[in-house]
Amino acid sequence: MIEWFKRYGREIKPQIEELHYSFFIFRKNPVTLVSLLTILALISIAVLAPYTVPYPQSALGEVHPYEAFEPPSMKHLFGTDEAGRDVFSRVLVGTRISLYIGVLVIFLALLIGLPLGIIAGYVGGKIDETIMRITDMFLSFPPLLLALALSVAMGPSLVNSMMAIAIAWWPWYTRLARGQAISIKERPFVEAARAVGVGKSKIMLRHILPNSLTPIVVQASLDFGGVILTAASLSFLGLGAQPPTPEWGLMVSIGRRYFLNSWWTATFPGLFILITVLTFNLLSDGLGEVLNPKLRRA
């Protein structure tokens, strides 16, 4: 038992050092530091919100028609919406939904896109051509439009919109992964693996994939914001989350109608969309710096 721990400790020690180094870089740049803290805040909100917001029932759909359109006050920090629900609670619970969407969609997109790209790049030939033709087809559509079309086709719901966005998003990772695979397969350590007799799939898994991740991780963190924005846009158009789900885009969409008299119903969810997307953008910059091998100590 102790043996196992000792061994495991030795194996992950370098990873821990890497983490330490990454935090150092983060600390140096004030912008990335702020974005990191903000993301941690958002994650904690997402986790704790349903248990700690003042009016959890607001998020679930309980209505108080007599309390509709109350402006922000001590009782309702962000005011109430058209159904009398506490906007503050709804926005905070919405954080969970948005982050959830981001994680799931990107995960799905990577699941499809990464392997396709790596196989296309490493194996080459006809397989590469086939995969890239399909990828190019998808790439020729602007992602929002494609997601839109797919959502319409699949019917408006949160789950459908997530799938639609994932389908619109995967080709970008394929292209990135393919580029990486092509340059990495020329490296001596890959040739060494071939010389030893390691099979194609093992090479792709152990050698190509781990070394391709850098630009993909940077892109994925950038995309987080983009995906959340797209999901919000779809909900805004009525194609994503349906009422009474406290999804930000949906809240902006409904609030828009009452904006002139009750600005708070649309503004606060919109603000959170802004903060979240901006934060992930800045984070991806910081990550890019961290993962850039030029900064690695020799």
Q: Which residues contact 228 (CB under 8 A, 6 or more apart)?
A: 98, 99, 101, 102, 273, 276, 277, 280
Dist CA 246 CA 178 (whole Å):
38
Are 185 and 99 in contact by the 8 Å Cβ rule? The answer is no
CB of 164 to other proteins, least distance (A): 34
Q: For residues 90 and 185, which CB has a smaller minimum distance to other proteins in the complex?
A: 185
Judged by DSSP in three states, 237 sits in coil
Q: For residues 38 and 211, which CB has a smaller minimum distance to other proteins in the complex?
A: 211
CB atoms < 10 A from the CB of 189, how many?
A: 10
The DSSP 8-state label assigned to residue 66 in this structure reads: G
Judged by DSSP in three states, 132 sits in helix
Q: For residues 18 and 82, which CB has a smaller minimum distance to other proteins in the complex?
A: 18
Q: For residues 11 and 260, which CB has a smaller minimum distance to other proteins in the complex?
A: 11
CB of 202 to other proteins, least distance (A): 8
- 298 sits near other proteins (criterion: CB under 8 A): yes
Judged by DSSP in three states, 296 sits in coil
CB of 154 to other proteins, least distance (A): 39
Binding mask 207-226 for other proteins (x = CB under 8 A): x--xx---------------
- 125 sits near other proteins (criterion: CB under 8 A): no
- 85 sits near other proteins (criterion: CB under 8 A): no
Are 264 and 271 in contact by the 8 Å Cβ rule? The answer is no
How many Cα atoms sit within 13 Å of 267 on the Cβ side?
Answer: 12
Using the contact rule CB under 8 A, the part of the chain among 10-18, 50-58, 79-87, 122-130 near other proteins is 10-18
Amino acid found at 62: E
Residues near other proteins (CB under 8 A), total: 27
Judged by DSSP in three states, 86 sits in strand
Torsion of CA 84, 85, 86, 89, to 10 degrees: 180
Using the contact rule CB under 8 A, the part of the chain among 5-13, 108-116, 131-139, 225-233 near other proteins is 5-13
Q: For residues 4 and 66, which CB has a smaller minimum distance to other proteins in the complex?
A: 4
CB of 297 to other proteins, least distance (A): 6
- 1 sits near other proteins (criterion: CB under 8 A): no
- 21 sits near other proteins (criterion: CB under 8 A): yes
Q: Give backbone dihedrals phi and psi of 280, rounded to 5 degrees, phi first.
A: -70, -35
User: Taking phi first (over 0 means left), then psi (-120 to 50 degrees means alpha), and beta for anything else, what does residue 65 get?
Assistant: alpha
- 144 sits near other proteins (criterion: CB under 8 A): no
- 27 sits near other proteins (criterion: CB under 8 A): no
CB of 118 to other proteins, least distance (A): 15
Q: Which residues here bind other proteins, judged by CB under 8 A?
A: 10-11, 13-14, 21, 24-25, 187-189, 191-199, 202, 206-207, 210-211, 296-298
